[in-house]
Copies of this chain bind each other. A is one copy, B any other.
Amino acid sequence: MPSFIFLSRGAMDGIGSVAAVCTTVSFLPQLIHVWRRKSARDISLSMFLLFSFGVACWLVYGLGIGSVPITAANAITLALALAILALKLRYDGRQ
């Protein structure tokens, strides 16, 4: 596929870094939201099981190809996704 956006390599790396930080950090407000509300019924169990499995595969992939950014971003995302999953199981069991 040809490149459709004509930016320097440095600009592309910057956009990629912003992308990685945002998609990784975004799970933190969700974790805080569930923690504060003590409720996670609107959150899909299937989503977080499938997502966590996918992120675990990204982690293995990052370790396999020796990529620090892929490994680090997915280790943090996996920890946050598993924490949300744990709170969901805890709060849903009560309701």
Contacts and interface: CB of A to CB of B under 8 A. Distances in A.
Interface residues of A, number: 51
A21 to B, nearest CB: 7
- Please tell me how many copies of the chain the complex holds: 2
Interface in A1-44: 1-5, 7, 12, 15-16, 18-30, 32-34, 37, 39-44
Interface of A: 1-5, 7, 12, 15-16, 18-30, 32-34, 37, 39-44, 46-48, 50-51, 53-55, 57-58, 60-61, 63-68, 71
Given A27-B47, A29-B46, A19 B57 contact: yes
A40 to B, nearest CB: 5
A51 B67 contact: no
Nearest to A53: B22
